[in-house]
Amino acid sequence: MDLVYERLSMIDGVNGLPNQAISIAHYFEMNGDLCQDPEMVVLVNASDRTAEAYSFQQAMPPIYQEVYDEGNRVDPALKQNLNTFLETWLDNLVNQGHGVEWEGYRS
């Protein structure tokens, strides 16, 4: 599957840190619709070279999870779970040939 990357500047710095938000997703087609399998919003902090999960969603079965609530409070267990999934997924993406570095990325 192709990997789709999208900048989400409207949620940059959501957790009070100098993060830039990106969405990464795989899509599949079902009945003419594109469905996420999965999509994650990731907060990238270039200064300390870290990335952390912000949200996870998939189409089938429908799941949406967000680490931070409206008050910017974190769910530590969900954050750990999603970060573990993110680490595994990023390793899989590199192994699938998507690359180690993002080319053409501009802040």
Instruction: Give residue-wise pLDDT tens across range 66-86.
Output: 998 877 789 999 999 999 999
Residue 104 is assigned to a structural domain of this protein: no
Residue 20 banded pLDDT, cuts 50, 70, 90: very high
Domain that holds residue 12: 3-95
Tell me what pLDDT residue 99 has: 63
Sequence-ordered list of residues with C-beta below 8 angstroms from that of 15, at least 6 positions apart, any chain: 43, 68, 72, 74
Tell me what pLDDT residue 107 has: 43
63: pLDDT strictly greater than 90: yes
Peptide bond into 61 cis (omega under 30): yes
Average pLDDT over residues 24-42: 88
Tell me what pLDDT residue 87 has: 93
Residue 46 is assigned to a structural domain of this protein: yes
Structural domain count, the chain: 1
Residue 101 is assigned to a structural domain of this protein: no
Q: Which of 56, 54, 60, 46 is closest to 25 using CA atoms?
A: 56
Tell me what pLDDT residue 80 has: 97
- Tell me the C-alpha distance between 96 and 105, whole Å: 20
- Tell me the C-alpha distance between 69 and 67, whole Å: 7
Residue 105 is assigned to a structural domain of this protein: no
Determine what percent of the chain is predicted with pLDDT higher than 90.
46
Residue 103 is assigned to a structural domain of this protein: no
Residue 90 is assigned to a structural domain of this protein: yes
- Tell me the C-alpha distance between 101 and 49, whole Å: 12
Tell me what pLDDT residue 1 has: 64
Residue 39 is assigned to a structural domain of this protein: yes
